[in-house]
Structure 1
Amino acid sequence: MTFDDLLDRAAALVRPGRRALLGLAGSPGAGKTTLAERLVRRLNGDGPDWVAHVPMDGFHLADVELDRLGRRDRKGAPDTFDAAGYAALLRRLREDEDDLVYAPGFERTLEQPLAGAVPVPRTARLIVTEGNYLLLRDDAWARARSQLDEVWFCELDEAARVRRLVARHEEFGKDHDTAVAWVLGTDQRNADLVASTRDRADLVVGPEITADEAPVPVPGAHRPSER
Structure 2
Amino acid sequence: MEEQVDRLVQKAWDKFQNTPKSKRLMIACSGIPGSGKTTLAAKVASRLNDLWHHGSPGLASDPGVAIFLPMDGYHLTRAQLSAMPDPNTAHARRGAAFTFDAPAFLALVKKLREPICPETGTVYAPSFDHAVKDPVPDDIPIATEARIIVFEGNYLSLGKGAPEWKEAAELMDELWFVDVEMDVARQRLIKRHVESGIASTEEEAANRADMNDLINGKDIIDGRLEVHEMVYSKEDREWQPEEQAIDKDRD
Q: What TM-score results when the alignment is normalised by the length of structure 1?
A: 0.86
Tell me, in whole angstroms, the C-alpha distance in 2 between the residues paired with 1:100 and 1:209.
Answer: 39
Q: Are positions 1:58 and 2:73 aligned together? A: yes
Please give the alpha-carbon distance, in whole angstroms, between the structure 2 residues aligned to 1:83 and 1:35: 23
Question: 1:2 is paired with a residue of what secondary structure?
Answer: helix
How far apart in 2 are the matches of 1:13 and 1:129?
16
Q: Alignment length, in residue pairs?
A: 214
Q: Based on CA coordinates, which of the two structures has the bigger radius of gyration?
A: 2
What SS does the corresponding residue of 1:152 show, helix, strand or coil? strand
Q: For the Cα contact (< 8 Å) 1:156–1:211, is it kept in 2?
A: no
1:31-70 maps to which residues of 2 (within 5 A)? Answer: 31-45=36-50, 47=53, 48=62, 49-69=64-84, 70=87
Paired AA for residue 10 in structure 1: A
Aligned to 1:220: none
Residue identity over aligned pairs, in percent, reads: 33
Cα displacement (A) at 1:99: 2.3
2:226 paired residue among 197, 200, 212: 200
Q: CA deviation at 1:87?
A: 0.6
1:111 aligns with 2:133: yes
From 108, 114, 128, give the equivalent of 1:89: 108
Change (3 A) 1:146 1:199: closer
Alignment of 1:142 onto 2:166: yes
Which structure 1 residue ranges, 5 or more long, are not aligned?
Answer: 215-227
**Given the superposition, is the C-alpha separation of residues 172 and 208 from structure 1 closer, same or farther in structure 2, using an over 3 Å criterion?**
closer
* Structure 2 residue 208 is matched with structure 1 residue 182: yes
Secondary structure of 2:145's counterpart equals coil
Q: CA RMSD in A?
A: 2.1
Measured in 2, the distance between the counterparts of 1:173 and 1:192 equals 25
SS at structure 1 position matched to 2:30: strand
Q: 1:147 to 1:210 in 2, by over 3 A?
A: farther
Q: Displacement of 1:199 after TM fit?
A: 5.7
Which residues in structure 2 correspond to 1:146-225 (within 5 Å)?
146-174=170-198, 175-176=200-201, 177-198=203-224, 200-207=226-233, 212-213=238-239
In 1, Cα distance between equivalents of 2:219 and 2:238: 25
When residues 40 and 210 of structure 1 are mapped into structure 2, their CA distance, relative to the original with a 3 A threshold, is farther
8 Å CA contact retained: 2:158, 2:225? no
Structure 1 residue 108: Cα displacement = 3.0
What's the counterpart of residue 8 of structure 2?
6
Structure 1 residue 96: deviation in Å?
A: 4.3
Question: Residue type matched to 1:119 in 2?
Answer: P
TM-score, normalising length: structure 2: 0.79
Q: Which runs of 5+ in 2 are unaligned?
A: 54-61, 241-251
**C-alpha distance in 2, partners of 1:148/1:5?**
19
Q: Is the 8 A contact 1:21 1:150 kept in 2?
A: yes
Greater alpha carbon shift after TM alignment, 127-136 vs 1-10: 1-10
Secondary structure of 2:28's aligned partner: strand
